[in-house]
Structure 1
Amino acid sequence: MKNIKIVSLAACMAWMLSLMFFSSCSNDDSASAYSGGPVIESISRSGYDLSGNILPSTPVTLVDPKNYYIIHGKGLLSTTKVYFNDFDTYFRPTFVTDTDIVILVDENTPYANASNQLKVVTGRGTAVFNLTVAPPAPTFSSYNFINCAEGDEVTIKGKYFLNPVVTLAKTATEPAVPVTIVSSTLEQIVVKIPANANYRNLAVTNISGTATSLEAIGTAMYDDKLYGMEWGGPWSGKGVNFDFDGDSYQGQKSWQWAFGQWDGGNWGFNYDMTRYKAMRIAVKGTKNGQVNFSVNGGPNYVIPVTTTWVYMEIPLSKLGNPASVTMLTFQESNNDGGNTVLFDDIGFVLK
């Protein structure tokens, strides 16, 4: 579900003025004489779509936070409170008539384990209407392990996983493939990997949208451990910890390297690069600095280091367009006594 471009405050005011003008000019005696308790007959969207067209007044039973809606009924003029899922929601009294309330659904409205009700409290009683508050679109922060195989149980982390559906994401040549969910919470899903999942991204969908992993399955060089290393080590013979569990960008662990000034190391591999257009890496340091990086002894690429995690994708064109990766070289280059650097999510980006 796409987020709808909400109406501006000025447009809402114009809409309310038209409602009030229509109400004041109406000769419908039965409407003006209504004296019963409040009734909610429908709720519809208010505002404009992305093309600038006014949204249709079609009744809905699903509302999106941070969007405006029109509550339609009767006996609403003396409204004192409006609740979405028992969340006290602010409204402007000037946006209320006896038949309509224009209101913005608060972004903090609860959506899980909620009452699924709209309540309007007036001087004549309370009206209740059944509806669902949509969660935000899901976010996909990580999954572990990236280099998984058929039958493996993989943990996906993120947010807003309300009644999720997980798939191998659709590609230009392949349809989406359902993935079995073993268990789920609002921030974590455990899934079982199906056959033929290599080089496919994982996607999580809720009623509000879809989030897709940055990384494709089977494209990791480091994901809690270093894959495919055939030889190598730090030049100083010390300082490397592939099993650091104090911080990570992806998964549970990261590669910690306590560099001395200008220290570095070489690591040997044998990866074919036919499928790939870039290398990826996430980096964080104890202090700001930089690390020189190269592939197969080719052109030097300077990786900036900050005290927060930074994810980057390095085009192969910046690394000499290698047809294969046989050696990675890292060298601390702060020129100020060294640095402790964390590396994570090292791998490849598909074409």
Structure 2
Amino acid sequence: MKNIKIILGLVFLTISSIGFISCEGDDSGPATVDGPPVINRVTLAINDSTTTVGLRENMYRIYGENLATTKEIYFNDTKSYFNPTLVTNTTILVSIPKETPYFDASDELKVVTSEGVAVIDFPIEQPAPEIDSFSPVAAGAGEIVTIVGSIFEGLESVRFGETEAVIVSSTSTEIQVEVPEGIVQSYIFVETLGGVTQSEQAFGFKFVIYDDALKEGWWVGGWDGSEDFENTEQVKRGDFSIKRIYNGGYSGFQIGNGGAPLPISDYSAVKVSIYGEQNVGNLRFSINALNEQELGVILQVEEGQWNDFEISLDDPALIGENELEVFSQIVIQELSGNSNVIIYIDDLGLI
């Protein structure tokens, strides 16, 4: 019996020792706060890697001492919610609030406990800009486009595709830029100190007539020539362009709207790109069969390159004294009198 008691006593002591060692390394139990809080470092919660800057709406782990009685946590003087069950004497798990300022702020992380306050330098990174909308959705070179959104501080550049635009003015919620030359259709990119954001909607035509394919419902006419709407020899953008061969002098390429009416008042101009391949002189661009009245804008096409044209719909050379209500057709006529003239047409539409 005496031996059994000795053995049971040894077992009890062993279990007690194991329990003591386990509790000593477990910070989740009752904590002893020995003084004011201390912040040693901050890590990303996702991988526990040390960081010296924060990003809004991300979760972080604060390492330190005497943190068990934490009452409040501030990032750049913005109070952050935290779950008390995720606080121990040496760690706090907390997320940076969405409304935390990042520009002209204190750049401080502050932990307030019942025993004092701990503060360290901890700037908040500027998030990437957010683009809500832009207007107009299409415009000519040099015209002003207004971009509306947020987090535009520290603006570095605005690009239409890969082409940088001239910034006219900017605030934290609005940017005005000039449309660069040669822009037909592209996404808008806003770059700040916080990163780069692409617009969801592409900037470009209000109505596309040809962009790799002729608009559904449009018909093809013309005289003394032929057209290939899926040409790949010379392409401005995309996969195809229109190859037009003028077999005789003064022949014409013609396409027309067979779909829903297009009110002239909804548009300001026609944009088109033309590549001069062979024997090209001047071309006459006319609309709505007004070429019968000797109306039309003369296009001077340089051979061996893409030529971008923007023809105003209120140009007297195009419409004369006519008051047009709808846009119905286009004629591009060869004026040099040469035969076997070859051009390519791409990115044709209304803005």
Instruction: Normalising by structure 2, report the TM-score.
Output: 0.49
Pair member with larger Rg: 2
